[in-house]
Copies of this chain bind each other. A is one copy, B any other.
Amino acid sequence: MVNLEVNIGKTTFKNPVLTASGTFGNGSEFDDFFDVSRLGGILLKGTTLEPREGNPYPRMAETPSGMLNSVGLQNKGIDYFEKNIYPKVSLYKTNVIVNINGNYIEEYVELASRVNKLDNIAGIELNISCPNVKMGGMAFGTNAASAREVTKAVRAAYNKTLIVKLSPNVTSIVDFARIAEEEGADSISLINTLLGMAVDIRTLRPSLSTITGGLSGPAVKPIALRMVWQAAKAVRIPVIGIGGIMNSDDAIEFIAAGASAVQVGTASFIDPMASVRILEGIEEYLTTKGFNDIKDLIGYINRK
């Protein structure tokens, strides 16, 4: 038996396979497909203080080995979350993490304090990297001073596991990784989507109502992997790898490059069972390669 357990912040994950926020609904959408509790953890759809309608249709475009989305954080707000979603996700026997988003630092802080009171939520993922909202979002994640300020403020308001989700749309990912660590984040997760665009040449209009949107899927994997590798070398807190992970081979690349856990995103759209198949594949790989503990694989390529 291989030991798959990893620790991130105050949380123990029974295995390193998590789901990426905004691609896994609130978990229950997957109940028909597999037992969600098998995963190391699930990250819920981005939540805001007030309900949001998101951006107008069309919000999606297919791209080579990827997709663009400009959902824009459509969600029913934290009140609805507490009343209707929290009781349901509390039943899962796995770590549930809430992805929080705000226009202002105060909103992030209020959300963090509200989530702090929810016993069955293992942690917060602080999303400072959503490219699809006009205010907040990526503006925080691409400006060092704002990233610092919001992390510090949320840290003060939240005492369980705090993960800061970084934007890849920056010159130096290492700077932002360090800022998160310095301000007390327990972990960083990366990458969120890359800002992209598509044009419909039949209509000669942008494919998305918002013109630009977030690129995800295997297309971004090489960039994500590079950033995870850079970030993992720069900080001591655990790094969670995200970006184009479609199968266990991809997940293993991230772990070998320094990720302590991975999040499966767009892959779940194409194969709703992707996350659990990745979990099985990692276990098989470790066994075949003779690793007894997933920890021995983390950052393997950096060893000599």
Contact = CB atoms under 8 A, between A and B. Distances in A.
The 8 closest A-B pairs by CB, nearest first: A196-B222, A64-B218, A219-B219, A197-B226, A65-B65, A64-B65, A199-B253, A197-B225
A115 to B, nearest CB: 29
A65 B285 contact: no
A281 to B, nearest CB: 11
Given A171-B170, A211-B229, A215-B223, A199 B256 contact: yes
A195 interface: yes
A201 interface: yes
A180 interface: no
A244 B199 contact: no
Contact of A222 (B198, B244, B285): B198
Nearest to A228: B197
A58 to B, nearest CB: 14
Contacts of A170: 171
A107 B63 CA distance: 40
Contact of A206 (B68, B198, B204, B301): B301
B219 A65 contact: yes
A201 B171 contact: no
Interface string A179-223: 000000000000000111111010011100001100101111111
A257 B300 contact: no
By secondary structure, the A interface counts as: mixed
A226 B170 CA distance: 15
A195 B66 contact: no
Interface string A223-260: 10110010000000000000010000100110011000
Interface string A252-284: 110011000000000000000000000000000
A211 B229 CA distance: 10
Contacts of A215: 222-223
A225 B257 CA distance: 29
A169 interface: yes
B201 A222 contact: no
Nearest to A214: B222
A142 interface: yes
Contacts of A194: 222-223
Given A171-B142, A206-B301, A223-B195, A256 B201 contact: yes
A201 B291 CA distance: 13
Contacts of A205: 301
Contact of A201 (B66, B217, B244, B252): B252
